[in-house]
A = this chain, B = another copy of it.
Amino acid sequence: MSNKFANASGYDIRQAIRAGEITGNTSGMGSGLVQANLVILPEKYAADFLRFCQFNPKPCPLIAMSDEPGNPIISVAGKDVDIRTDIPQYRLFQHGELQQQVSDISSVWRDDLVVFLLGCSFSFEEPLISDGIEVRNISENVNVPMYDTNIACRPAGIFRGNMVVSMRPMLAADAIRAIQICSRFPQVHGAPVHLGDPSLIGISELSAPNYGDAVTIKPNELPVFWACGVTPQAAINNAKPDFSITHSPGCMLVTDIANSKLSIL
């Protein structure tokens, strides 16, 4: 599946999702295209959530949002993007509890829903690999390890919580280069937030990530930590809004936006 769509356009991938031909993980599809995390909230929570993103841009880098509440067409993300049908798997929550996982949200769409699209680390892993840096979760073909930390996000209304980070082990010279490369991409989490001793940010055991899979850390490597898009999901879990929708992990919106367009330099 992944191979067939590795170099497909965002439009063709979204059409295949609508047609039920793609039903799972979008990792490795649409080479060079931005893939986005999804958060959908009723309008009454939207201003607080937008403020939360504004206050915490590294874990919550906002790429796009609804033109107006109730409008499911996100034209800035690509041709004919309909957020109700163009993601392979959605998660529906009530009061912070997962209710069900569905492949189409047309039947639950409401006029008061506001869509938020947030940057994702896929966009910076690509330029790292192009530069010759090994990204361990990709070479080991697993989900990136993610950890809860003791780094408090700045709260906004009902949204609050600690930052979640992803971790990629690297040699120091590669970590320095990765900081340079990722600094060019503030809309996909930007530069790392920490490196070295994990206990300094409240992580006790690297081999036991809170989300995702553990990866090998070689003796000469440092763990390098990036702000992670799971942070807003954790904040929503804490806030327990009466209704919310997210993408299922790894099942992203493939946009028409080139990763290179997010480079500020």
The DSSP consensus for interface residues of chain A is: mixed
Q: Which of B173, B183, B196 contacts A172 (CB 8 A)?
A: B196
Q: Which of B179, B194, B197, B220 contacts A180 (CB 8 A)?
A: B179
A191 within 8 A of B: yes
Residues of B contacting A183 in the complex (Cβ-Cβ under 8 angstroms): 180, 183
- Which of A175, A176, A196, A222 is most buried by chain B, counting CB atoms within 10 A of its CB? A176
A196 and B196 within 8 A (CB): yes
A50 within 8 A of B: no
Residue of B nearest to A221 (CB): B196
Q: A183-B183, A265-B265 in contact; A195/B176 too (CB < 8 A)? A: yes
Residue of B nearest to A151 (CB): B173
In which size bucket is the chain A interface? 10 to 19
Q: A197-B220, A200-B220, A222-B196 in contact; A180/B176 too (CB < 8 A)? A: no
Distance of A193 Cα from B192 Cα, bound (Å): 17
Question: How many monomers of this chain does the complex have?
Answer: 2
A193 and B179 within 8 A (CB): no
B172 and A191 within 8 A (CB): no
Chain A residues within 8 Å of B, Cβ to Cβ: 172-173, 175-176, 179-180, 183, 191-197, 200, 220, 222, 265
* 5 A-B interface contacts by CB (under 8 A): A172-B194, A176-B195, A179-B191, A195-B196, A195-B222
